[in-house]
Amino acid sequence: MGNRRSNFFTSNRDSKVSVSNVETPRGNAAGFVRYFKEDLVSGLMVFIIALPLCLAISLASGYPAMAGIMTAVIGSILTTFISNSELTIKGPAAGLIVIVLGCIKDFGGNGFSDGQGPGDFDAYRACLAVGVAAAVLQILFGVFRAGILSEFFPKSAIHGMLSAIGVIIIAKQIPNALGVSTDKQEPLELLAEIPHLISQANPAIASIGLLSLCLLALWPTIKKKIQAISVIPPQLVVLVVAVLIGLYLNLLENHQYKLFGHEYKLGDQYLVPLPSKMFGILDQITLPDFGVLKQWIAWKWIGMFFIIGTLESILSAKAIDSIDPWKRKTDMNRDVLAVGCANLCASMFGGLPMISEIVRSKANIDNGARTRFANMWHGVFLLVCVAILPATLHLIPKSALAAMLIYTGFRLAHPSEFSHMYQVGREQFVIFVTTLIVTLATDLLIGVAAGIGLKFLIHLINGVPIKSFFKAYLDIEEVSPDTVKIRASESAVFSNWIPFKRQIEHIGLVQRKNLIIDVSDAKLIDHTVMEKLHETQSEFTAEGLKLEIVGLEQHRALSNHAEAARKRGLARLRRITIVAEPDCEDLLQRECLARGASGFTITPSRGVGRHNVHDGTWETTNGIRLETIVPFQVSEGLLKYLREEVMTKYHATVSVETIEVLLPDQFSQSEVSASPLANHG
């Protein structure tokens, strides 16, 4: 999801698909025939990636291993014919592991990863009933075109939630990767237990997990050096290597070995538990226990399945739309309806919840998919594989699957996420970290609620009126027959974005009019709205329309990031004053402009320097006085140059002061790059 965005996506320039002089592919009967080869090949490559991930996610979620495959098969076939999303791959996702496993544990189960224990099967059936009820809500969500409600959640809280999920996945999979078991269940307890787990690791099993993790992490570098293997998915390499090591260690047979005086056990408990006979997937069909829906705890998890699953699916589909080489747009209401129908069928027969999945969808694009039939083919390959090769799949070590999930969790909680949120703004970073920590300490629902609550508190501190938290104050004015101005007052924040967005889409994309969004009277435009306005500008451009944002010059950005929140008030810049000898006048003029200043003022000066005072001459000397006003980031580079190159060679003094200005864009060399949302004609 995302920039988590930056971790998962590359630009269209990096895609293997060339779109020049090619008509837009469509997932209809003609598209099925015309792009049969491209979709089939991409489906095969995605299948190779999806196979181990489906098994890993299913076991990590507390379901039988085959449940993940069942979900991917049902989802890929059903959604292909319901959704109009051309490039997304539907299936189980790592982001739902925490929710599903939490549901299993609340109903008294411990999961199927280490075999079926008392209460595991009943908890599994209860979780299936929860999945069915959540799927019904998703269907209603799509039918009543409520997909826009996903726009409510603030970006910083969403990123915090996803990073927390990544940390939880890592914490819970480390024991499996090391071949040890632990009684600790809570994420913070597991993280604190890591040193002890490492000391108790089964060396043979841990070597498989560590080698698998290294292969996943280093594969991009290896591919660059050896172009011949660039088309091979790293997941396939991990599977082959792990299975070969497992065969060498004879994991199919229970036995022991000694190392450094310690005795360790090996056996098929370290392999993926799968039925050994052909078409064993049919034996895995399990019906839900709808009796649990009478319990209040079930409805907590129904809400979690529905909200988090729907939100993740929509965000993933939007992200894939943004890198679709043909810029096709998914009908989000129709896509949620498709996912809901597939989830209903999957949960009715023993499968996991599913979403539009990011990593497999990105791989789908990279491998040249043209239409949604690539999604279908990946499901067909999965069905054929588990139907006729279950004994082969049983050879996969669970530690290799755990390594894949640890790698996925690391990408969700990548350090760049922390860096990105800090760059957007310190207040966004605080919300992000708060959501992450509270989620780790409690659960997802409380974590997200804490992030949203803190966001409201920060808005209050920044002067947002309570009355505008959920109501958008908009004035509509027709500027010309093809242009309309929407003037926003009070505030433009995440919680009132939905009515704001409806007006923008109705007037702009439905009535086909250009828009001017005037935010000069808004007390605050938060990060979420800034980001969404940026996205909306791109949508208008793709539709041949124009969306201009005016009034940002009346606001002060809370950071240097283009999508930082804007608070009404004067902007802070730096005024640098340089007094130097006349010989360096040309140098100073040239370097100031070269280093980002938009202009300067030079006046002649006369004065007495410190050395004249000390020697008693009091002799005045001629000089020049240069003043320039620049943004903070420009001032840092300019000051470094003055300190290292000017003041070491010339007699010069430099002073710096922070000032407030009315029109900050006047002091930027590149007004467009300084704020991609601003309209400067």
What is the per-residue pLDDT across 280-297, written as a single tens digit (0 to 9) for each? 667 778 999 999 999 999
Neighbours of 430 (CB within 10 A): 18
Closest alpha carbon to 95 in 378, 448, 528: 448
Residue 230 one-letter amino acid: S
158 sits in which H/E element:
helix 155-178
- DSSP structure string for 89-115: EEE--GGGHHHHHHHHHHTT---STT-
The predicted pLDDT at position 403 comes to 96
Helix, strand, or coil here: 338? helix
Task: Considering only residues 283 and 223, tell me which one the structure prediction assigns the higher pLDDT.
Answer: 223
Confidence of residue 153 (pLDDT cuts 50, 70, 90): confident
What is the per-residue pLDDT across 69-122, written as a single tens digit (0 to 9) for each? 999 999 999 999 999 999 999 999 998 999 999 999 999 999 888 777 788 999
The predicted pLDDT at position 388 comes to 85
Rounded mean pLDDT of 494-508? Answer: 94
Winning range, highest mean pLDDT, from 55-59, 154-158, 613-617: 55-59
What is the per-residue pLDDT across 245-267, written as a single tens digit (0 to 9) for each? 999 999 999 999 999 889 999 99
Closest alpha carbon to 195 in 212, 175, 209: 175
Percent residues over pLDDT 70 in the chain = 93
Length of the chain: 681
Please count the CA atoms within 13 angstroms of the CA of 156 that sit on its side-chain side.
36
Cα–Cα distance, 444 to 102 (Å, whole number):
10
Rounded mean pLDDT of 53-80? Answer: 94
The predicted pLDDT at position 277 comes to 67
- DSSP structure string for 562-625: TT--EEESPEEEEEEEEEE-GGGHHHHHHHHHHTT-S--EEEEEEE--HHHHHHT----EEEEE
Token pair belonging to 406: 């640890």
CB 283 within 8 Å of CB 267: no
Token pair belonging to 400: 């290799």
Token pair belonging to 53: 């991930």
The predicted pLDDT at position 19 comes to 54
Cα–Cα distance, 603 to 601 (Å, whole number):
7
Phi/psi at 194 (5° precision): -55, -45
Winning range, highest mean pLDDT, from 271-275, 510-514, 675-679: 510-514
Token pair belonging to 540: 């208008």
Cα–Cα distance, 80 to 29 (Å, whole number):
12
Using the Cα atoms of residue 302, residue 308, residue 309 and residue 310 in order, give the sign of their dihedral.
positive
Closest alpha carbon to 37 in 49, 48, 25: 25
Neighbours of 270 (CB within 10 A): 20
Is a pLDDT exceeding 60 seen at residue 487? yes
Is a pLDDT exceeding 60 seen at residue 230? yes
For residue 49, what are the contacts with CB-CB under 8 A and spacing of at least 6?
Answer: 233, 235, 236, 359, 360, 363
Please state whether 186 falls in left (phi above 0), alpha (psi between -120 and 50) or beta: beta
Confidence of residue 677 (pLDDT cuts 50, 70, 90): very low
The predicted pLDDT at position 10 comes to 38
The predicted pLDDT at position 13 comes to 38
Rounded mean pLDDT of 439-448? Answer: 90
Closest alpha carbon to 564 in 601, 526, 533, 537: 526
Alpha carbon separation from 312 to 137, 499, 678 (Å, rounded): 15, 22, 30
The predicted pLDDT at position 72 comes to 96
Phi/psi at 355 (5° precision): -145, 180
The predicted pLDDT at position 614 comes to 62
The predicted pLDDT at position 613 comes to 64
Alpha carbon separation from 410 to 31, 48, 413, 499 (Å, rounded): 37, 21, 5, 36
Query: Is residue 418 exposed (0-12), middle (13-18) or buried (19+ Cβ within 10 Å)?
Result: middle
Cα–Cα distance, 266 to 244 (Å, whole number):
15
The predicted pLDDT at position 670 comes to 58
- DSSP structure string for 429-496: HHHHHHHHHHHHHS-HHHHHHHHHHHHHHHHHHTT--GGGSS--EEEEEEEETTEEEEEEEEEE-GGG
The full set of domains in the chain, from first to last, is: 51-410 (no CATH), 466-567 (3.30.750.24), 571-661 (3.30.70.120)
Is a pLDDT exceeding 90 seen at residue 524? yes
SS (H, E, C) 510-534: HCCCEEEEEEEEEEEECHHHHHHHH
Please state whether 624 falls in left (phi above 0), alpha (psi between -120 and 50) or beta: beta
Helix, strand, or coil here: 657? strand
What is the per-residue pLDDT across 333-391, written as a single tens digit (0 to 9) for each? 999 999 999 999 999 999 999 999 988 999 999 999 999 999 999 999 999 998 888 88
Rounded mean pLDDT of 417-426? Answer: 94
The predicted pLDDT at position 113 comes to 82
Mean pLDDT of the chain: 89
Confidence of residue 523 (pLDDT cuts 50, 70, 90): very high
The predicted pLDDT at position 14 comes to 41
What is the per-residue pLDDT across 616-674, written as a single tens digit (0 to 9) for each? 666 788 899 999 999 888 999 999 999 999 998 888 899 999 988 877 778 877 543 44
Widest CA span in the chain: 103
Confidence of residue 165 (pLDDT cuts 50, 70, 90): very high
Rounded mean pLDDT of 175-194? Answer: 92
CA 675 to chain centre: 23
Winning range, highest mean pLDDT, from 136-150, 167-181, 280-294: 167-181
The predicted pLDDT at position 668 comes to 78
The predicted pLDDT at position 2 comes to 39
The predicted pLDDT at position 24 comes to 87
The predicted pLDDT at position 406 comes to 96
The predicted pLDDT at position 261 comes to 85
CB 552 within 8 Å of CB 675: yes
Cα 517-523-527 angle, rounded to 5 deg: 70
Phi/psi at 630 (5° precision): -140, 155
Winning range, highest mean pLDDT, from 221-225, 418-422, 608-612: 418-422
Confidence of residue 612 (pLDDT cuts 50, 70, 90): low
Confidence of residue 9 (pLDDT cuts 50, 70, 90): very low
CB 38 within 8 Å of CB 46: no
Token pair belonging to 152: 């409510």
Rounded mean pLDDT of 567-584? Answer: 88
- pTM for this prediction: 0.82
Which residues are registered as beta bridge partners of 654?
Answer: 578
Phi/psi at 678 (5° precision): -75, 145
The predicted pLDDT at position 150 comes to 76
